[in-house]
Amino acid sequence: MGARGRGWEIVERAAAGDLLVFDGGYGTALFEAGLANGACPELWNDTHADVVRSIHAGYFAAGSDLVETNTFGGTRLKLNEYGLGDRTRELNEQGARLARAVCAPGGYVAGSMGPTSRLPAEYEPLGDTSDEQYVATFTEQAEALAEGGVDLFAVETMMFPQEAVAAIRGCKAATDLPVMATMFFQYEELHDRDRTMWGESPADVARNLVAAGADIVGMNCGRGPDRAIAIIREMRAATRVPLVAYPNAGLPITTGTRTTYELGPEAMAKEYPALLDAGCSIVGGCCGSGPEHIRLIAEVVRSRRKR
């Protein structure tokens, strides 16, 4: 298996029952480093390469087996909002190279691909984006990330099935690297259940993403590890592919201009034995989680591996 195909080791290891650690949030770290509200995070791959590299290095040092690139909003459709569409290829390739440059021995790099923030055409009158447009923009991003040296793709925080499916198709059209695909769920207090913005259940999502070609499926962002456990349990009952979860550190708490999250590292890591029991193979954190959260989550995973 050449360097190009290393990402498949993740799928094989997860399928064989190995447990892997993903990374934590990026937005939080970038804002702390001075990224202005409303500025383009992906531009920092060029203007603040050292900062981005050091965030990746911090996660590897904390125990991440795989870290993702700073390319969450790296599609042309999204970069157009900042007048940076013509730099799509460059910013994605550079994002991949920064993570690759500090990748720990035996570590992996996942190319982050988030929503375009454009609505599917079916959502009249606001929706304006066809499946073909979605596939084209994700194919372009995937090609650039592969060129930069990622091992797999992380299609993440998707809200709508059309966009999630198009992103998976775009990745598969670009290259033969594996695809990890996760969606954003909202907890519906009234019904005590988790649903996507489109109203899909975790079981629906798992089946649809696998049918679209995803190799690993799961959830990210959302409310916190307590809901991740319920979501993963439902997904496990619906599919046999490896599952991934990287929830937020609980709910955001806003005081003035500062946003913090409910769960500190200890409180968050405490939930992870149950998340692994639910059937998760790859675990990490999203918004509000940092290297210290990941260090404690990695300890949970390591103690579980020893058993």
CA atoms of 197 and 131, how far apart (whole Å): 18
Residue 176 confidence (pLDDT) above 50 = yes
**DSSP state, 111?**
E
Residue 186 confidence (pLDDT) above 80 = yes
Residues in the chain, total: 307
Residues with Cβ within 8 Å of residue 32, at least 6 apart in sequence = none
The whole-model pTM stands at 0.96
104 token code pair: 């720990």
Mean pLDDT (the chain) is 96
Q: For 51-97, what is each residue's pLDDT tens digit?
A: 999 999 999 999 999 999 999 999 999 999 999 999 999 999 999 99
Residue 2 confidence (pLDDT) above 50 = no
Please give the share of the chain, as a percent, with pLDDT higher than 70: 98
CA atoms of 158 and 155, how far apart (whole Å): 7
Question: Considering Cα of 302, then 271, then 217, then 24, what sign does the dihedral take?
Answer: negative
DSSP helix/strand/coil, 21: strand
- The parent domain of residue 192 ranges over 3-306
CA atoms of 112 and 235, how far apart (whole Å): 22
Residue 28 confidence (pLDDT) above 90 = no
Residue 161 confidence (pLDDT) above 70 = yes
Question: Given this model, what pLDDT does residue 3 score?
Answer: 45
* Number of domains the chain is built from: 1
Domain CATH for 227: 3.20.20.330
pLDDT confidence band for 1 (50 / 70 / 90): very low
Instruction: Report how far apart, in Å, the C-alpha atoms of 19 and of each of 74, 143, 212, 259, 290 are.
Output: 29, 28, 24, 31, 20
